[in-house]
Amino acid sequence: MNFVIYYVRLFAYLLPPAMLAACSFTKGIHCSSTALIPIKTAHEISEVWRISVGRSGRYFFVPSSVGDYVYAASKNGSVLKIDATNGKEIWRTKLGVDLSAGVSSDGMITAVCTLEGSVFVLDNDGKILWKANVLGKIITPPAVGQDFVLVRTIDGRITAFNSRTGEQKWVYVNRSVPLNLQTIAGITLAGKNMLLAGFPDGSLSAINLQNGHEYWQTLVSYPHGTTEVERIHDVVGAPTVVGSRTCAVNFQGQIGCFDVLSGRVLWKQPFSSYSGLAQDDYAVVSTDEGSGISLYDSTNGKSLWHNVHLQGYAVTAPTIIGNIVVVGDCHGFIHFLSRDTGEFVARRKTSGSIIAQPVVAGNTLVVQTSDGDLYGFRLQ
């Protein structure tokens, strides 16, 4: 297979050329055809169900999980709720519009978005509860929780709505930069009154959920280089929170962890990612721009291992499930690595390329492919 995945910058398709020169940057990644290294001792991975959702097109559609349920969406406007224990479809709604981002749910309401700024919120039966619009284009999944629906546009603006009524509550605007990547830059809820978000200027902000005011802002890294392209250092993916630590990573910058209450730097290490990271009680793991996978001690930033055997495979942001690290790739393989050593312990093939971060629903690993299939896997 010899094709290009525009893994970072999909915005080139979305704006006229004159605007692209001023505010965007495209990075194409070729999907490598290099042979994968064999696995010495493989864990058994069972495919327990598979369901068709609909193609993703050129967008990132990351599933959302709440307990044993998983929510998924596709470009053609389909939104689904699925029981992850058996793959049974609970409901499926066809919105009749093309979607570009989604899905997010708190188990009671579910939100998805269109490229042109429309926000659809569904109730627990999959029926439309309300619809709203924001200024700007959307390619990042919304966030749902604590009576809010939070929507982020390509320019980094975050708009908060009352989750039940659709009333707009506030808008947060971060400073703009000349060039930025357009990849998923998520929103993470931290406790009852805080959300965390990273921005194209390299900053990580903690924002009051009730009024949109900043608790604190810190830089994940400072820009380097002389040209605007060299100085791109967007925070990518969604910040993670475990206990008192929040961690983030950026492009051409650093990976690090911070005190969630104050923003105080706990540690940083040089790094460059355009996909994001995962965190558990002990470790932080991320994929770099060359598809290397690195794991650090979350308390002090000590590098514990670095796997370079998927170079050029355009791997996804990682997911941690127990003592296993999971990534998908552009050929549709799911790779399972030992969290302790970084060695491959299993591999499974799916129907199409994977650009969305795998998620965990109960004891099931859920993976969505660009070709429109949603898989449920279990580690034996």
Least confident of 3-12, 54-63, 172-181: 3-12
Identify the residue with better confidence: 292 or 29: 292
- pLDDT, tens only, 322-334: 999 999 999 999 9
Answer yes or no: are the C-beta atoms of 284 and 295 closer than 8 Å: yes
Assess whether pLDDT exceeds 90 at residue 184: no
Report CA 170 to chain centroid distance, whole Å. 24
Answer yes or no: are the C-beta atoms of 180 and 232 closer than 8 Å: yes
- Choose among 380, 376, 378: nearest CA to 70: 376
What number is the average pLDDT over the span 333-362?
A: 95
Place 205 in a pLDDT band, splitting at 50, 70 and 90.
very high
What number is the average pLDDT over the span 280-302?
A: 97
Separation in Å, CA 288 to CA 97, 141, 194, 255, 263: 34, 22, 28, 10, 24
Answer yes or no: are the C-beta atoms of 311 and 2 closer than 8 Å: no
Assess whether pLDDT exceeds 50 at residue 351: yes
Assess whether pLDDT exceeds 90 at residue 159: yes
- pLDDT, tens only, 71-126: 999 999 999 999 999 999 999 999 999 999 879 999 999 999 999 999 999 999 99
Amino acid 8: pLDDT: 39
What number is the average pLDDT over the span 316-327?
A: 96
Give buried/exposed letters for 305-326 (b at 16+ CB in 10 A, else e).
bebebbeebbbbbbbbbeebbb
Assess whether pLDDT exceeds 80 at residue 160: yes
What number is the average pLDDT over the span 238-251?
A: 97
What number is the average pLDDT over the span 302-314?
A: 96
- 24: tokens are 């965007």
Total count of residues recorded for the chain? 380
Percent of the chain past pLDDT 90, that is, above it, reads 78
Amino acid 212: pLDDT: 97
Amino acid 29: pLDDT: 54
Write the CB contacts of 88 (distance below 8 Å, at least 6 apart in sequence): 82
Percent of the chain past pLDDT 70, that is, above it, reads 92
Amino acid 23: pLDDT: 41
Separation in Å, CA 160 to CA 120, 310, 350: 14, 39, 36
Assess whether pLDDT exceeds 80 at residue 244: yes
- Choose among 210, 211, 295: nearest CA to 247: 295
Place 185 in a pLDDT band, splitting at 50, 70 and 90.
confident
Assess whether pLDDT exceeds 80 at residue 17: no
- The whole-model pTM stands at 0.90
- Number of CB atoms found within 10 A of residue 93's CB: 19
All domains of the chain in start order, with CATH = 56-320 (2.130.10.10)
Bond into 8 cis (ω within 30): no
The answer to whether the Cα torsion of 194, 199, 201, 202 is positive or negative is positive
Amino acid 10: pLDDT: 36
What number is the average pLDDT over the span 242-271?
A: 97
Place 3 in a pLDDT band, splitting at 50, 70 and 90.
very low
Amino acid 24: pLDDT: 40
Identify the residue with better confidence: 126 or 25: 126
Amino acid 101: pLDDT: 85
